[in-house]
Amino acid sequence: MSNENPPGLLHQTRSALLIIDVQRRFASAIPGFDQLVENCARLARTFRTLELPIVATEQYPEGLGSTVPTLLRELDARDLPSKTSFSALGCDDARVHLVSAGADTIVVCGLETHVCVLQTVLDLLAASRQVHVAVDAIASRHERDRDVALHRMERAGAVLTTSETAAFELMRDAQHPQFKAIQHFYR
């Protein structure tokens, strides 16, 4: 059997996580916000356990507040690029972090699906990156906006996945040395 990674599957040595704008001000506006935060945190713990790159952004923190504490505990707080562009790639610091990560596959989660997540995913695809969108770790204020954005991302070439699917896909085998630790995150 070939060592090549089948198309559409995550590969542990070439993947990074991008967490977009999971900030305090969204808490009251986003349905299921607490579950979204937990799923983003699970992904961050998974990537940290696997020693894979994590990049997180904050959209205009002066107005939207900082990253939520639950998620902030999983991140390097010194390394949260602040942006005003909707796409994370419009932020020089975020773009530099992603490029320096050397990943050709990016798992994306965060807020809001139809604005910052959508524009970032489309920019990543245009930059020839494979993009996996964790659908249980993204949200919009309105379901229709989320659904239309997901449809657009998938039609553009993004792979729709879930946080748990991404975690197990990165490990690929129950014999993986971090299997027990990561399995625990999803119970």
Distance of CA 51 to the CA centre of its chain: 15
For residue 184, CA distances in Å to 20, 168, 179, 180, 181 come to 24, 12, 8, 6, 5
* Residue 1 reports pLDDT greater than 90: no
* Residue 5 reports pLDDT greater than 70: no
DSSP classification of residue 78 = G
List all residues 6 or more positions away from 94 whose beta carbon is below 8 Å from its beta carbon: 18, 55, 57, 81, 83, 88
Q: How far apart are CA 111 and CA 109, in angstroms?
A: 7
Distance of CA 75 to the CA centre of its chain: 13
Task: Give the residue numbers annotated as catalytic, written as ranges.
Answer: 21, 83, 116
- The domain locations on the chain are 13-185
Please report the pLDDT score of residue 171 as a whole number: 96
Q: How far apart are CA 36 and CA 70, in angstroms?
A: 11
Tens of pLDDT along 99-157? 889 999 999 999 999 999 999 999 999 999 999 999 999 999 999 999 999 999 999 99
Residue 110 and residue 134 in contact, taking contact as beta carbons nearer than 8 Å: no
* Residue 3 reports pLDDT greater than 60: no
Q: Is the dihedral of CA 44, 50, 51, 52 positive or negative?
A: negative
Question: What fold characterizes domain 13-185?
Answer: Rossmann fold (3.40.50)
Dihedral pair phi/psi, residue 10, rounded to 5°: -70, 150
Token pair recorded at residue 119: 């524009």
Tens of pLDDT along 65-103? 999 999 999 997 667 899 999 999 999 999 998 988 999
* Residue 6 reports pLDDT greater than 70: no
Please report the pLDDT score of residue 11 as a whole number: 87
Tens of pLDDT along 32-47? 999 999 999 999 999 9
Token pair recorded at residue 109: 């989660």
